[in-house]
Amino acid sequence: MLVHDALPMRVVFGPGAVDRVAEEADRLGLRRLLVLSTPRQGGLAARVADLLGDRAVGTFDGARMHVPVTTVAAAEDVAAAVRADGCLAIGGGSTIGLAKALSLRLGLPSVVVPTTYAGSEMTPVWGLTEAGRKTTGRDPVVLPSSVVYDPELTHALPAAVSGPSGLNAVAHAVEALYAPDGTPVISAMAERGVRDLAAALPLVVADGADASARSVALEGAWLCGACLGATTMGLHHKLCHVLGGMLDLPHAETHAIVLPHVAAFNLPAAPEADAVLRRALGTDDVPGALRALARAVRVPDGLQALGVRHEDLARVADEVLAAPYSNPLAPTRADLETILEAAWRG
């Protein structure tokens, strides 16, 4: 027996789709939107605020990676001051994560305009970081009410961000393929999403203005994110959440570096997932193909390149072992040390 929960997602996809944000707000009955972004994407925030007109009652451009609780508290204050009835988040995982936190804590619905390939906009997964520890959970209330994908907004995304961001999305699909609650629907989406991203990311990195490749990559991210949204996370995401929260590492790069090493550990125990990924990547060596793709799209070479000290690895292993999670194989401490050592060396 299998059970497949189809998440209630509305997606608007296509070049110029951002121009429809006011229409999406009206469809949801939202009249007082707080526009969210990171400091570097203030220009995009101003653009969507103009598109929203008097529906935009304020902006908060302080979104930060890993969603620190102090950032959420500051955004809550602004939302209360402007009497927001919803949020419009434009940006990547940091901004989308902030919108989810406001949905979780204040019940504010959100319209999301992704500008990276993170895929988190398609999931009911939230995360908050406090005192170096990242806590995650699942709650349908954080699922965006509308997701507006405009490939044109990704054209300015630098190659150094595009590649890791896309591999972050691939990681979502890889874990969904061996999740205990996977279904044939998830497998089909994962295969298509991984194939699209593997084909498009090298082209995107080579020529950021390649409109066709940008569109294919964004569609792949949508599919991979939806896979994560419908399944249980395993060792890969556990490791990356601990690394990111504890050491304040860049989210996408961490996922991209860790992915081949966890895949090498898990896939021998997940032959059906391995078969899907072999087809999607056109290879008999999935971990090797993931490593090659990471090199092709300029992912940093190992966790040490992100500033992780070798002595940090033991603390990470301790944290991962401290809480249970689903995985095809239950890793021992020695297994974790092997995976982390390989990821650290690159």
* pLDDT score, position 132: 84
DSSP, collapsed to helix, strand or coil, labels residue 248 as: coil
Q: How confident is the model at residue 156 (pLDDT cuts 50, 70, 90)?
A: confident
* pLDDT score, position 324: 81
User: Same topology for domains 11-154 and 159-345, yes or no?
Assistant: no
d(CA 26, CA 22): 6
Assess whether pLDDT exceeds 80 at residue 3: no
Four-CA torsion 9, 104, 256, 305, nearest 10 degrees: 160
* pLDDT score, position 126: 94
Residue 245, both tokens? 């929260």
Q: How confident is the model at residue 11 (pLDDT cuts 50, 70, 90)?
A: very high
Q: Domain extents for the chain?
A: 11-154, 159-345
Assess whether pLDDT exceeds 90 at residue 235: yes
pLDDT for 191-212, tens place per residue?
999 999 999 999 999 999 999 9
- The pLDDT of 1-26, averaged and rounded, is 90
Topology of domain 11-154 in CATH is Rossmann fold (3.40.50)
Q: How confident is the model at residue 2 (pLDDT cuts 50, 70, 90)?
A: confident
pLDDT for 290-328, tens place per residue?
999 999 999 999 999 999 999 999 999 999 999 888 999
Domain 159-345: CATH class, spelled out: mainly alpha
d(CA 277, CA 289): 10
